[in-house]
């Protein structure tokens, strides 16, 4: 649906607007005040002890309860799926033909699916797929995007042009469509989704990193490093990459929910996870026919998706506000 990509574009647009404006006052000088010297002084004083990324994130969790709750929820999901074998009340593959597509009953807190399997247990296992797809392809695509963005931005010229034109083409596709194309070529299944999301999603990251590099390249310390003959690759890794880090953290948190949603959509269409393995999207797909008969086991996996995605989005918002102050409202 491209909604998440759209949302990212919205954020970039917002970024553009906000960063175009004059410097906002520090905490006591109202907008009306036009006393730049003091603004700068105070701003400097506040930034003076350079906060590390870790410290900034910790301070965010201290002040932003919503972010903390979101992080805890994500952590709980991760723990629950890792320890699924211990937490699951039933074997997720054991069928109970006399108790098919039933609403919650004794022994099955979320009911059973079309083959009489315990939905809660299947959700614990299925969550592994959703989380893995959320985290792994996002990581791969962001490493790829960071590398290509660094190269494009720092080397420039023809290579920059080629990389960015490829990125343009990839960005023209909604991720769901591209995944469908890949699945046609490579066949249905999780591997397809991994490949599609890993090798397609880098374009946005590359674009972001490239623009970051272009602005960092002009900074004094990079110029200084260049002037004393430090190698290009060293400059990129030592000087430029660390400065992109906070942007990357924000971007990562914002990309994860998009990929989780894409995976669940594809699985719901029957293109993603294939039985007997499972995922939340597939669980809903398999129970589609039983919506009226057994709404709880049918809809429960969707609630899990929603909660996880909302948690990631809240965390992403909080991180953006904390790490990218130019976006702060």
Quick count: other Cβ atoms within 10 Å of Cβ 281? 29
Residues 245-284 that bind other proteins (CB under 8 A): 257, 261, 264-265, 268-271, 281, 284
User: Which residue in 138, 168, 169, 154 sits closest to 262, CA to CA?
Assistant: 138
| Shortest CB 76 distance to other proteins, Å | 17
| Shortest CB 299 distance to other proteins, Å | 6
- For residues 38 and 76, give the distance between their C-alpha atoms in angstroms, rounded to a whole number: 45
- C-alpha dihedral over 257, 262, 267, 269, to 10 degrees? 140
Ranges assigned E (strand) in 72-209: none
HSE-CB at 53 with a 13 A cutoff on CA atoms is 11
Q: Which is nearer to other proteins, 19 or 93 (CB)?
A: 19
Q: Are 299 and 284 in contact (CB under 8 A)?
A: yes
87 binding other proteins? (CB under 8 A): no
Q: Which is nearer to other proteins, 33 or 72 (CB)?
A: 33
Q: Which is nearer to other proteins, 127 or 257 (CB)?
A: 257
| Shortest CB 238 distance to other proteins, Å | 34
Q: Which is nearer to other proteins, 17 or 94 (CB)?
A: 17
Q: Are 252 and 193 in contact (CB under 8 A)?
A: no
Helix axes 295-323, 119-155, angle to 10 degrees: 30
Which residues 6+ apart lie within 8 Å of 249 measured at CB? 53, 57, 319, 323
What residues pair up with 105 in beta bridges, in sequence order? 108
Span of 55-63, 87-95, 208-216, 298-306 interacting with other proteins by CB under 8 A:
298-306
Q: Which is nearer to other proteins, 19 or 233 (CB)?
A: 19
Q: Which is nearer to other proteins, 92 or 281 (CB)?
A: 281
Site string for other proteins, 118-157 (x = CB under 8 A): ----------------------------------------
- For residues 281 and 284, give the distance between their C-alpha atoms in angstroms, rounded to a whole number: 5
Q: Which is nearer to other proteins, 33 or 76 (CB)?
A: 33
Residues 182-241 that bind other proteins (CB under 8 A): 182-185
Rounded to 5°, the CA angle 152-156-157 comes to: 125
- For residues 194 and 185, give the distance between their C-alpha atoms in angstroms, rounded to a whole number: 14
Residues 154-193 that bind other proteins (CB under 8 A): 165, 168-169, 172-174, 176-177, 180-185
Residue 20 is encoded by which pair of tokens? 């175009």
| Shortest CB 226 distance to other proteins, Å | 32
| Shortest CB 22 distance to other proteins, Å | 6
Question: Which residue's entry shows tokens 């699916």?
Answer: 113
**Size of interface with other proteins, in residues (CB under 8 A):** 73
User: Which residue in 280, 286, 318 sits closest to 302, CA to CA?
Assistant: 280
Residue 228: φ, ψ to 5°:
-95, 15
Q: Which is nearer to other proteins, 92 or 258 (CB)?
A: 258
| Residue of 309, 315, 318, 323 interacting with other proteins (CB under 8 A) | 309
Site string for other proteins, 62-81 (x = CB under 8 A): --------------------
Site string for other proteins, 5-44 (x = CB under 8 A): -xx-xx--xx-xxx-xxx-x--xxxxxxxxxxxx--x---
| Shortest CB 160 distance to other proteins, Å | 16
Q: Which is nearer to other proteins, 236 or 327 (CB)?
A: 327
């Amino acid at each position: 649906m491209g909604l998440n990509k759209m949302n990212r574009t919205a954020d970039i647009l917002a970024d553009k607007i906000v960063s175009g404006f004059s410097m906002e006052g520090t905490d006591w000088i109202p907008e009306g005040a036009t006393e730049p010297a003091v603004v700068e002084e105070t701003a400097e004083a506040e930034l003076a002890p350079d906060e590390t990324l870790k410290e900034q994130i910790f301070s965010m969790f201290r002040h932003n309860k919503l972010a903390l709750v979101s992080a805890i929820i994500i952590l709980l999901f991760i723990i629950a799926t890792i320890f699924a074998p211990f937490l699951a009340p039933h074997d997720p593959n054991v069928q109970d033909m006399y108790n098919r597509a039933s609403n919650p009953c004794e022994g099955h807190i979320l009911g059973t699916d079309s083959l009489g399997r315990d939905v809660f247990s299947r959700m614990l296992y299925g969550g592994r797929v959703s989380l893995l797809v959320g985290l792994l392809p996002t990581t791969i695509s962001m490493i790829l995007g960071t590398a290509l963005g660094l190269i494009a931005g720092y080397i420039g010229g023809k290579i920059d042009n080629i990389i960015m034109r490829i990125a343009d083409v990839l960005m023209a596709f909604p991720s769901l469509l591209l995944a469908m194309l890949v699945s046609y070529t490579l066949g249905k299944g999780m591997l397809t989704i991994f490949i599609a999301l890993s090798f397609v999603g880098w374009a946005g990251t590359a674009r972001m990193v490239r623009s970051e590099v272009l602005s960092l390249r002009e900074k004094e310390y990079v110029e200084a490093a260049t002037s004393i003959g430090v190698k290009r690759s060293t400059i990129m890794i030592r000087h430029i990459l660390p400065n992109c880090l906070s942007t990357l953290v924000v971007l990562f948190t914002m990309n994860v929910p998009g990929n989780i949603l894409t995976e669940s959509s594809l699985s719901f269409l029957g293109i993603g996870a294939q039985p007997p393995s499972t995922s939340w999207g597939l669980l809903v797909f398999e129970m589609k026919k039983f919506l009226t008969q057994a709404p709880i086991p049918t809809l429960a996996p969707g609630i899990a998706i929603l909660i996880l995605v909302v948690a990631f989005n809240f965390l992403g918002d909080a991180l953006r506000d904390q790490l990218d102050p130019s976006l702060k409202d």
